[in-house]
């Protein structure tokens, strides 16, 4: 009976978290702040060669974690991809991440999540209405540290590498089992019309106001003009 109650409570809790989300511009600002703090870490951040090679960068600030017999995760964030246009990076598309499983985790918490899409195959899967990390796209926990080049060979073969930060602790995590999908309602609110994630991430839509800091942080640690060895 308790298990059944947990199953009922989880979707209601996630719905409540969704309803209490901040605005789209706030999400972009929070994502830029997360990138600044994580990428600016002196020795425990994301390896620079991974950032240099990434086709897309996603940030889920304050991902919610809920649990009552049945654990789950819910979050909204943004993703940008490299383009061939003058801006170098696409406009941000709002995405949501969802995942859950049966476990003994009780309580709630928040975690910042950063994920890198390492190749064009992974980028193309972002264009779908929905895909499951691990099942539809290969994924692994990302190596940590500026000098972690020796550990990145496996990451280069994965389509998605991911990281989390909670209570000041930063580590690579796997997003296997989580689903990623575009938030079409939020994208419509941002861009003033129905727009697909493919249009946004392929550079067909100009970025909205208030995104300067996001691009400043991206170009500081992952310049749009990559070195010749960065592209596989």
Residue 155: closest CA among 141, 165, 167, 168: 141
Q: Above 80 in pLDDT, residue 113? A: yes
pLDDT of residue 35: 87
- Total domains in the fold of the chain: 1
Query: Distance between CA 57 and CA 78 in Å, rounded?
Result: 8
More reliable by pLDDT, 71 or 193:
193
pLDDT of residue 214: 92
Q: Nearest 5°: CA angle at 169, between 163 and 175?
A: 25
**Which residues lie closer than 8 Å to 4 by C-beta, 6 or more apart?**
none
Q: Above 70 in pLDDT, residue 224? A: no
CA torsion, points 135, 136, 137, 141, in degrees to nearest 10?
Answer: -30
pLDDT of residue 212: 92
227 falls within a domain = no
pLDDT of residue 193: 93
More reliable by pLDDT, 24 or 117:
117
- Please, is 228 exposed, middle or buried when counting C-beta atoms within 10 Å of its C-beta (0-12, 13-18, 19+)? exposed
Query: Distance between CA 183 and CA 28 in Å, rounded?
Result: 14
Average pLDDT, the chain: 74
228 falls within a domain = no
pLDDT of residue 142: 79
10 Å Cβ neighbour count for 42? Answer: 6
pLDDT of residue 178: 85
162 falls within a domain = yes
193 falls within a domain = yes
What DSSP string runs through 167-185?
TTEEEEE--TT-EEEE-HH
pLDDT of residue 195: 95
231 falls within a domain = no
Chain-centre distance for alpha carbon 127: 14
229 falls within a domain = no
Structural domain including 177 reads 2-221
pLDDT of residue 126: 84
- Backbone φ, ψ for residue 184 (5° rounding): -65, -35
| Local structure of residue 106 (DSSP, 8 states) | -
pTM (predicted TM-score): 0.78
């Amino acid at each position: 009976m308790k298990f059944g109650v947990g199953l009922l409570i989880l979707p209601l809790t996630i719905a409540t978290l969704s309803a209490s989300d901040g605005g789209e511009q706030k999400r972009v600002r929070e994502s830029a702040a997360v990138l600044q703090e994580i990428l600016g870490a002196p020795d425990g951040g994301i390896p620079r060669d991974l950032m240099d090679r990434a086709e897309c960068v996603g940030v889920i600030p304050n991902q919610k974690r809920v649990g009552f017999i049945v654990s789950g995760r819910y979050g909204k964030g943004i993703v940008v991809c490299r383009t061939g246009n003058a801006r170098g990076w696409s406009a941000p598309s709002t995405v949501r991440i969802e995942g859950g499983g049966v476990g003994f985790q009780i309580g709630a918490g928040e975690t910042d999540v950063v994920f890198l899409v390492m190749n064009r195959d992974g980028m193309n899967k972002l264009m779908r209405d929905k895909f499951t990390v691990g099942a539809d796209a290969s994924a692994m926990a990302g190596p940590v540290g500026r000098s972690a080049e020796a550990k990145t060979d496996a990451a280069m073969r994965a389509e998605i590498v991911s990281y989390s930060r909670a209570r000041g602790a930063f580590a690579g995590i796997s997003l296997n089992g989580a689903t990623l999908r575009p938030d079409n309602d939020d994208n419509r609110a941002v861009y003033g019309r129905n727009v697909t994630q493919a249009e946004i991430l392929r550079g067909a839509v100009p970025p909205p106001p208030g995104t300067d800091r996001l691009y400043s942080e991206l170009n500081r640690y992952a310049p749009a003009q990559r070195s010749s060895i960065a592209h596989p």
